[in-house]
Amino acid sequence: KAMKWEDERIAVTDPGRDIYKSAIAIDGKGGAWIVWSERLEGNFDILARHFTEGKLGPVENLSKSPGNDLNPVIAHSSKGTLLIAWMAAHEGKFEIRTRLNESGAWAATQTVSASTGNCWNPALSTDPRAEGSGHFALAWDTYEKGDYDIWLTLLDSAGKITTNPMPVANTP
């Protein structure tokens, strides 16, 4: 018998792991994708696991980079795609990266921030209407000018940037 959401708790990770920040999104087919940051071999990577029909799928490492990858967020579009975003340490600063999941397959990693300063704490949303565009809105904090600002970019349901990153809260 397959478990249901309400039947019992399910451990997504093994005990004793070094985990930082998790997120979850319903996949539109009765399942869910769970994402988190976990320390593996000296740095944090972004891991994901699918839950469907009462069972957990295998753990997938989505970042596998030499720097720390942290603070994952995930959203499901009205077109059935999932987008994950996180902050990735690269060449002495953090940048914002994404990966798209379409029909269970993860696309290549994409860097969406082009800042010379640190970019942190992504936030992700989609158009919730069933007849909506399926587009994603992705915002993050940046320290580009030596002060804290918020930048935004829009991505289509296939994860392609449709609006170049732009400041939306830009202190002088």
User: Is 80 within 8 Å of 102 (Cβ atoms)?
Assistant: yes
> 109: which DSSP letter?
P
pLDDT of residue 81: 93
- Euclidean distance between CA atoms 87 and 79, whole angstroms: 25
Could you give the CA distance from residue 95 to residue 142 in angstroms, rounded to a whole number? Answer: 9
Burial of 73 (0-12, 13-18, 19+ CB in 10 A): buried
Nearest to 85 by CA among 75, 73, 77, 93: 73
Could you read off the pLDDT of 16-25 as tens digits, one per residue? Answer: 888 999 999 9
Mean pLDDT score, 113-140: 88
Q: Which residues of 146-168 are buried (b: 16+ CB within 10 A; e: fewer)?
A: eeebebebbbbbebeeeeebeee
Q: What is the mean pLDDT of the chain?
A: 90
Q: pLDDT-derived band of residue 147, with 50, 70 and 90 as boundaries?
A: confident
pLDDT of residue 5: 57
Residue range 164-170: mean pLDDT, rounded? 89
78, 132 Cβ separation under 8 angstroms: yes
Dihedral (CA of 152, 156, 159, 161) sign = negative
64 pLDDT tier (thresholds 50, 70, 90):
confident
First-to-final CA distance of the chain = 60
* Residue tagged 């320290």 (tokens): 143
Please give the pLDDT value at position 115: 84
Tokens 């018998």 -> residue: 1
